[in-house]
Amino acid sequence: MADLGVGQDTANTIYTDSQSAFEVARNLIFHALTKHIEVHCHYVKERFSAGEISFAYVPTQDNLADLFTKALSREKSKAFRKALGLLPFVD
């Protein structure tokens, strides 16, 4: 945010339901399994270690973003739409 000229006192929080992504970003040790990770992932690791971002785990069953990224069951889709205050296309 400083690059954009916006001051900020706290770290940006990234909410994720991927525990493996969280661990890869948190663990600064190089592993053979992570050697092909793209450059932007290393950027995230650097920002995390600098304290500019933080991570928070969101259980999959509570992740409202899944409504926009995954095929969901009718029940889950309806519950997420309701949680976001969205109206159904048809009843």
Residue with tokens 């519950």, as numbered in its chain: 79
Q: What tens-digit pLDDT sequence spans the chain (91 residues)?
A: 677 887 777 888 888 887 777 777 776 665 555 566 666 677 778 888 888 888 888 887 888 888 888 888 888 888 888 888 887 666 5
- How does DSSP assign 9-31, residue by residue? SSPEEEEES-HHHHHHHH--S--
Residue 1 falls inside a structural domain: no
Instruction: For the full predicted model, state whether its pTM sits above 0.85.
Output: no
What is the tally of structural domains in the chain? 1
Tokens of 67: 């409504």
Residue 16 falls inside a structural domain: yes
Fill in the amino acid letter for 90: V
Query: Which residues form the domain of 23?
Result: 10-84
Give the whole-angstrom CA distance, residue 41 versus residue 31.
14
Residue 47 falls inside a structural domain: yes
Tokens of 40: 């932007």
Give the whole-angstrom CA distance, residue 15 versus residue 22.
10
